Amino acid sequence: MVSNKTVLVTGAAGFIGSHLCDWFIGHGFKVLALDNFVTGSMDNIAHLTKNKKFKFIKHDISKPILIPGKINYVLNFASPASPVDYLNLSIQTMKVGGLGTHNALGIAKAKGAIFLLASTSEVYGDPLEHPQKETYWGNVNPIGPRGVYDEAKRFAEALTLAYKKVHKMDVKIVRIFNTYGPRMRLKDGRVVPNFIDQILHGKPLTIYGDGKQTRSFCYVDDLVDGITKLLFSKATGPINIGNPCEFSIREFAKLVMKTYGGKAKIVYEPLPKDDPKQRRPDISLARKELGWGPKVPLENGIKLTMDWFKNNS
């Protein structure tokens, strides 16, 4: 696909944002990349800066910005996204989810662009329904430690749909489940970089709680495939994109050891407050509406991620 269309990506120097920039540049689009480097890094996009079709602006999307020229798509991916980050950056997290989404929607409206919101499985909170379908309203503690992220994203979903209704805009909402891969920050506190960092440095793996809580991990290439399929589809969503293969954190620790080819000690640490007990996406809607499903098995994805961390940390 070669295109002369322009894509604006907020959070472009982040883990997922930077992979999206790669995809769009690889498919001939012009990319206008915005980031304020609160959790993103120039390292993630440095390889693109020589490309004539790539332009970077350092900007915090919680503040308004006037952008000249045509924009065809706005992809709103700016936000701290790891529980440790949004605990430390609680006000920034609410501002970027609320004001940032408002500003990004404003740009899309002014340009007549299609708008895509990165939402999250966190809108389901600590889910009482399993697996999670898009029709589930969730079980979120608004005043708990995760509330700043969960409620900001819930607000962002509502605002996006209000813009669709009031301004007749073409909008899309993706609910992203746990995603991993190269360019995650080694110190972002999430389980994938933590375990990989620990095993590579001969440290014990830290399991929070009893490790029976579950997550379902999606490799970043599969996620990007799902997001781009949604962007070019007729669907609005919200639509779950994630890998439905569910692992307990204990099982995941074993898989990391097996992939590494060595054993590590395990230490049990307290479970963070409101840590969801189980999480697995129901992806029937994505299969039906987008013809999408994940392809990369966890073992392969963890191997690729480990290799990347070996060379980049």
Which active-site residues does the annotation give? 149
Name the one range near ligand UDP by CB under 6 A: 50-58, 137-145, 162-170, 204-212.
204-212
Q: Which is nearer to ligand UDP, 126 or 225 (CB)?
A: 126
Q: Which residue in 36, 119, 178, 278 binds ligand UDP (CB under 6 A)?
A: 178
Q: Does the protein bind ligand UDP through residue 213 (CB under 6 A)?
A: yes
Place of tokens 């407050």: 273
Q: Does position 215 bind ligand UDP by CB under 6 A?
A: yes
User: Per rule CB under 6 A, is residue 179 in the interface with ligand UDP?
Assistant: no
Q: Which is nearer to ligand UDP, 146 or 229 (CB)?
A: 146
Residues 164, 123, 163: CA angle, nearest 5 degrees: 10
Q: Return d(Cα 313, Cα 127) in angstroms, integer.
A: 35
Determine, following the binding rule CB under 6 A, whether residue 218 of this chain makes contact with ligand UDP: no
- Which positions from 35 through 94 interact with ligand UDP, judged by CB under 6 A? 82-83
Report the amino acid identity of residue 313: S
191 sits near ligand UDP (criterion: CB under 6 A): yes
**Residue 272 CB, nearest distance to ligand UDP (Å)?**
6
3-state helix, strand, coil in the chain (%, to 5): 40, 20, 40
| Rounded distance between C-alpha atoms, residue 162 and residue 301, angstroms | 37
CA-CA distance, 67 to 264, in Å (whole number)?
51
Based on the shown chain and the rule CB under 6 A, indicate whether residue 153 belongs to the binding site for ligand UDP: no
Enter the tokens of residue 231: 């962007």
**In the complex, minimum distance from the CB of residue 166 to ligand UDP, in angstroms, rounded to a whole number:** 32
Asked if 17 and 11 count as a contact pair (C-beta separation under 8 A), the reply is: yes
Spatial separation of the C-alpha atoms in residues 293 and 270, rounded to whole Å: 34
Tell whether residue 194 is a contact of ligand UDP (CB under 6 A). Answer: yes
CA dist 216 and 232 (Å) reads: 26
Contact between 95 and ligand UDP by CB under 6 A: the answer reads: no
Residue nearest to ligand UDP (CB): 190
* Residue 309 Cα to chain centre, angstroms: 19
Least distance CB 112 / ligand UDP (angstroms): 35
Q: Which one of 138, 145, 272, 293 is in contact with ligand UDP (CB under 6 A)?
A: 272
Report yes or no: 14 and 42 within 8 Å, Cβ to Cβ.
no
Contacts of 259 (CB under 8 A, 6+ apart): 299, 302, 303, 306
Q: Which positions lie near ligand UDP, rule CB under 6 A?
A: 82-83, 178, 189-191, 194, 206-208, 213, 215, 249, 271-272, 275
